[in-house]
Amino acid sequence: MDLEGNTMSKQAEFAVILKMNPMFADLGADELQRLSGLCHTQQLATGEVLFQKGDPGDALFGVRRGQMRIETGASDGSRLTLNFMGSGDLFGEVAVLDGQDRTADATAGEPTELFVLRREDFLGFLEREPKVAVRLIALLCQRIRWQSERMEESVLQPLPVRLARRLCALAEDFGSEVHISQEQLGIFVGAARESVNRQLQTWRKDGIVDLQRGRIMLHNMTKLTAVARND
């Protein structure tokens, strides 16, 4: 495939990713094509930092392949993982809209290729397509609700429920083989690694999960989902 054909193929992939996102789901094919035509791609190696907290919010990102970790620093010097982004996910909406500094770090968890849509191009598109701006408002409200639920969860829900909910959420993006260390998972749910390990070992004995180095295999999603619902 020549360079022009490869570029068109990537733009078509970005259009599909946009279509899957609630913010852009109502756009027609022509609108999606115009928006995806504004993007370019960026390659990241494992552990490479895309941006850090305090950097200018100058772009919206879509994951073509790979995994991004959205992280921040805790008061004790540890790292708190706020979210994982996999293929098809978009991130960076808040900073790209208000032009303020990034509120967290973004680091590649594995070799990753991103679609990049610059702030000035995106805002120009929103001025021409106001219904996208309306969808974006709804998406940001959804994010606020999500953050409120996580705060309530961390205060009120016991560790097995928090852990099951995080694993179920990761499974939605990455399938039944979740590449995450127990230490990272502990940071994600706000618990010590030892506590996470004890719970995972209990689930392993019950046939719900299997544990391998840096990976958790989810064997019984029915039981795990029941725990997540706190049934």
**What are the sequence ranges of the domains in the chain?**
10-143, 159-229
| pLDDT of 152 over the 60 cut | yes
Residue 32 pLDDT level (bands cut at 50, 70, 90):
confident
Joined together, the tokens standing for residue 80 give: 């708190």
Regarding the domain with residue range 10-143, which homologous superfamily does it belong to in the CATH classification?
A: Jelly Rolls (2.60.120.10)
- CATH for 159-229 is 1.10.10.10
Joined together, the tokens standing for residue 9 give: 């193929």
Q: Give me Rg for the CA atoms of the chain.
A: 19
- pLDDT tens digits, 161-200: 989 988 998 888 778 888 888 887 887 787 888 999 999 9
Question: How do beta strands 215-218 and 40-44 pair?
Answer: unpaired
Return the pLDDT at 222: 92
Dihedral angle over CA of 118, 71, 90, 10, nearest 10: 70
| pLDDT of 113 over the 70 cut | yes
- pTM score: 0.61
| pLDDT of 1 over the 80 cut | no
Mean per-residue pLDDT, 67-96: 80
Q: Which residues contact 22 (CB under 8 A, 6 or more apart)?
A: 135, 138, 139, 142
